[in-house]
Amino acid sequence: MRKAAAMETGTKYKSKIDRAFYIKVLVTLLLGIGLLVFYFIFRNVIVGILGTWMFVALLLIFLPEYRSTYYIIRDNGLLVKNGLFDKVTILYRQMMEVAEEQGEARHGSSKVALSKDRLYIRYRVKKKEYWMAISPENKEQFLEEIQEKRIAMPNRKLMNKT
């Protein structure tokens, strides 16, 4: 008997994708085709390797980003999935701010956004502050739902004081 894969529960938002992403993919594809054509005509090994790596980049970087970048608002936090292996959960109690403009990051920032129309999440992990840029398709609905979940989540510090 097979074990059922754990389903991702919550509201799922796909990432908005700009034209710039498609242009990068198209340029990589055309460059790869051009390099491979050059290789087959002139038998230059280095050019053949470069052309092959362009297709590898398409298959291993751009395609997984395109297919697997999404955000799931769960009961306890926000799951951010980017590509094949990058998966981060930000708990609501770690979130300090969700804004449309980025402030200054003290320890680093990451971009899981495929669009320039972004939201920025400032969160704290072990006394270090980070920024994460995301780009959900329906930004207004995403903001409403995340604010509702953050308000509904009790603050641990307040609970320990009583």
Per-residue pLDDT of the chain (162 residues), as tens digits, is 333 344 568 899 999 999 988 998 898 888 888 888 888 888 888 888 888 888 888 888 888 888 889 999 998 999 999 887 889 999 999 998 888 887 665 555 677 888 889 999 999 988 888 889 999 999 999 999 999 988 876 654 443 444
Cα 156–157–158 angle (5° rounding)? 95
Query: Residues 7-19: pLDDT tens digits?
Result: 568 899 999 999 9
How far apart, in whole angstroms, are the C-alpha atoms of residue 162 and residue 120?
A: 33
pTM over 0.85: no
- Beta-carbon contacts of 97 under 8 Å, excluding residues fewer than 6 positions away, are 103, 120, 121, 122
pLDDT value at residue 1: 35
